[in-house]
Structure formats: structure tokens, C-alpha cells
Structure 1
Amino acid sequence: MNTFISLTIYGLSDGALLALAALGFVLIYKATRVINFAQGEFLLVGAYMFYTGFVVMRLPLIFAAVFGVLVAIVLGVVVERFILRPLIGEHAISVIMVTIGLSSVLKALVQIFYGTSVREQPPILPTGSIQVAGATVPVNRLIVIGIAVIVLFAFSAFFQRSRHGVAMRAVADDQQAALTMGISVKRIFSLAWVLAAVSALIAGVLLADLSAVEQGIAAFGLMVFPVVILGGLDSVPGTVVGGLVIGMLKQYVSGYADPGLAEVIPYIVLVAILVVRPYGIFGETRIERV
């Protein structure tokens, strides 16, 4: 029972981080219909930018976080304005190849400036442990779950109540109708990329604090794809469910079966979902008639 509780907490924390990372992916897809294969590298850049502010520049924690957010905002705007916007109207495969190229460029830039070795960063979350139903659980894992819940609720409130959030939903539903209502679709596209970069920053910083500031953060971002396929490419609630399912499944397989199998089980789920329900659990089924 103790093992089960421990694996569940670890799985929930991993799933919460996956949900944050997948949230940015879904935001971009809903608003622009672009499949962003560079989402993992957004996590990587976010983690290293916080490291730069906190360790290299020796800024206080709050100012290092603000520095990271500012860099994430600039990254989102630059990518949308100068890389993706010129591709509006191009074939989807062309856009996908550009995002794959973008992922390679971002990873290469990180390696050029920081190298490939693991960077040491003082922990930003408490490192102690507490007893939960007889199981010893790290406090930082519980805090990560709490932070993810707060961020996800904040994004949800933004979409439901703010003017820009409503505009994003309108653009996601029908771009032409949104244009007739006076909504700047290009501005919404930029906002989607900015929010995706910020959510990736949060996930990357938390992941680096749980593990280390290293290149493997981008590999963690690859699990975004099983998450969004499971939950639905255009479903924000689906990212939460998909993230938690994949996170816990990976931990259960690692704890009760084989750690090697745990690394591939998310992609086995991805293939199974594509075969059984290609639009995901919460995804919207679109039928086009010609």
C-alpha cells in the first residue's frame, strides 16, 4: 500500500507537469491549427532561462522568475511573428517541418551557450518529506501538484472570464466569424504562442527543480504527444486528464513492472488511442463533407 501511495504521488506530480506542457501545445493548436513539435524545447529554454537569472545573474527568486517569463514572452512573439506568420496558407506539412526545425535550432542554441553537462541549481522548493497514509512522500512533489493546479485554474479563469480569453475561444471556433466581430486574429495567434511559452516555462522550471537543469528536459516534453492524443488535440480539459493518466501509468509500470517499459508505455498508449479513438477522449470529431 505504501508503494502504491508513493507511486501515485509521483505519478500525479509528473502528470501535472505534463498537463502544463501539453496546455501550451493545445493552445497553439486550437488557435492556429499548428502542431508544435518544439514544445519540449520550450520547456528546455524556460528551464535554462530561469537558471540564467537565478544562478548566473544571481537575481532573487522572484526577479529570476520574472526574467524567465519575459524571455518566454519574447520567444513566443518572435516565433509567431517571424517564423509561423509568413507560413499562413502554406501546406500543413510545411508548417510541421518548420516546427521540427525550430526544435533543433532551440536545442542547438542551448547547447552552444550552456554545453551538454548537467547544471547545478539551488533547490527552489522544500526538499524534505512527509508521511502520507504511511508512505514517505517528498514535499516538493506535493507542492508541484499544488502549483500546477493553481496555474491550470488561472488559465481556465482567463479563458472563461477575460476579454482576450473569450477572443481566443472565438478564434478557435471560427476565425472568419471572429474577424467579422473585430477580433485581431494575428494578435490572438501571438497570444497563443506567448501563453504556450509561459506554461512551458513553468513546467520546465518545476521539472528542473525536481531533477536537474539538463538536456533531458526536452525529452520529457516529448511525452506531450501521448497526452494530447489521449485527451484530445483541441481539448484543454483533456490535457489535464491525459497528463494525469500518462503520468500515473508511467510510474505504476516503472514501480510494478519494468522501468524500461515505463519509458515506452506512453507511446504504446498513443498508438492504441490513434487506432481506437483518433480524436482522443475529449477531442472534437470533425466531419467534412464535400
Structure 2
Amino acid sequence: MTTGVPAWLWIVCVVGAAAVQTARNAMQRSLTERVGTVGATHVRFLFGLPFGLLFLAATASFVDLSAMTLSWSFAAWVLAGATCQILGTALMLAAMRERSFVVTIAYIKTEPVQIALFGLVFLGEGLSLPALVAIVVATCGVLLMSMPTGAARLAASSKAAGTKAAVSQNAALIGIASGAMFALSAVGFRGAILELGDGPFYARATMTLAVGLAMQTAMLTLWLAWRDRRALFAIFRLWRPSLLAGAAGALASQLWFLAFSLQTAAAVRTLGLVEILFAQAVSHRLFAQGTTRREGVGMALMVAGVLALLLSAR
């Protein structure tokens, strides 16, 4: 299916996707306060759909898309991936209002551990022992980042500190739940890509993206029209920043899907941990949020885990 494709291409796609996704997350975060969590979630799909269709039209200009069979099984995989991605995005945006941007992303990035299990159960994609060890190392980094600082522990007896700890724990739980949804989403979309057969990898990835965005746009538009029409109207009033966030979201998804068509979901998402480094830069420059020494050590462990996994996959 991928004969003649450079073995390193999926790595380039993942790093590019992580960088663009970090920018999109920052854009969505700024929109959350103005259109709400669901409204900001809808932005990436509603305004990303035109770009997804543009990618598909560009692909159709030099590839015969009719060779791919759009089966009910394909539709089921896409629907599962699309629904879980909506839930994951909504939980992610909710968690971002609880604690530091970079630490929230770290909680969400427990995803590789979860995707290793989901990938085995639903796709039969197992991992070697070295790969599992690498994922454990990365997970230890996540746990280290989630631990309270010494000052917070000393102040834990006070009511204020107790409240802060509860909020922090809430952010962790929401972030981990978001990671689970993104893990299931990745499995769903990779399953859909594989379901399309032996066509060019970029054609299968682009078709899956376009269908997924169409489903997500329909679902959230109907939901907002029913439950929060003000948010829906607000999205259109803020079409300029929404369009930019949608474009970034579509590009990030396109790169993720290209990687999914070339490599297992677990490997793709584990390398995607590099997003934490990008998120640190964004939180420092845009949101004036610092990173503690403990969080820095945790991120170093994550990077070590990512590198170890890449070496084990060679």
C-alpha cells in the first residue's frame, strides 16, 4: 500500500501535525470564552470542512477516487472516530480552563498508553516489549508533571489549598478522559483508512478526513441549533478567527491522517508527544504560564520515552 514511500515520511507528518495542532488549540482556547466550549469545538469542524473538501478536490485532480469503496464498515469506523474526537476536543477545552495550558496537554497525552490497549483490541496492532517500556517511561513523565509542588503539599491543610488541589485533580481527570477519547478516535480513523483498501495512502487519508469533517459538522450544527443557537450565531459573527482556527485544524488533521495511513496509531500518537514541547512555548509566550522544574523533568521523561519508542520501531 505504501510501496516507494520514504520510511521517515510519517515522522515528518506527525511533527508537522503536532506543531499546527498546538497553534489551533491556542486559537480555540481564545474562542472558548466567547462562544463556549461546544461552540469552540464546533469551529474546528465547521470551518475546517471547506478546507477538507479542498484537499479532497485537489487529490481528485490526479487520483481516481472512484477506485475506493465507501462501505458501511468504512462509515462506521469514521463515525466512531468523529464522535470520539468531538468528545475529546470538548473535554480538552474544558480542562484548559482548569490549569496550565502545557500541563493540560500533558494529561491528554496519556493517550499513547490508552491507544496501545485500544489498538490491540480493535485493530490487532500489538507492541513489542521495548515499545511498551518506552510508553511507560513517557507515562511516568505525565505522572510526575501532575504531582503537586512541595509548596502546594505544605499548604494542603488550608481550605484554599484544598480547593486548588481539587481543581487540579479535576483538570487531570478531564484531561485523561480527553486522552481516552482521542485514543479511540485515532483507532477509529485508522480503521477507516485501512478499510478503504489498497489505494494511494494520501487518497485514503484525505477521503477519510473529508467524510469525518462532514459528519462532525452535521452533528455539532444540529446540537447547537437545538441547545445553543446563540453560540452558533456567535461563531459566524467571529468568522475571521474561526476560519483561521478551522484552517489550522484541517491541516493538522490532514497530516495526522497521512501519518495514520503509513504507521500504526500507537506509534503515531506516541511521537505526537512532541506537541508538549510546542505547548510549553505557546503557554510561555501567549498565556504567560510558566513551567516548574518538576514539570520540566516530567517533559524530559516524555521525550526520552518518545525517542525510545522510535528506536524500538526501527
Q: TM-score, normalised by structure 2?
A: 0.30
Comparing both structures, which one devotes a greater share of its residues to helix? Answer: 2
Q: TM-score, normalised by structure 1?
A: 0.31
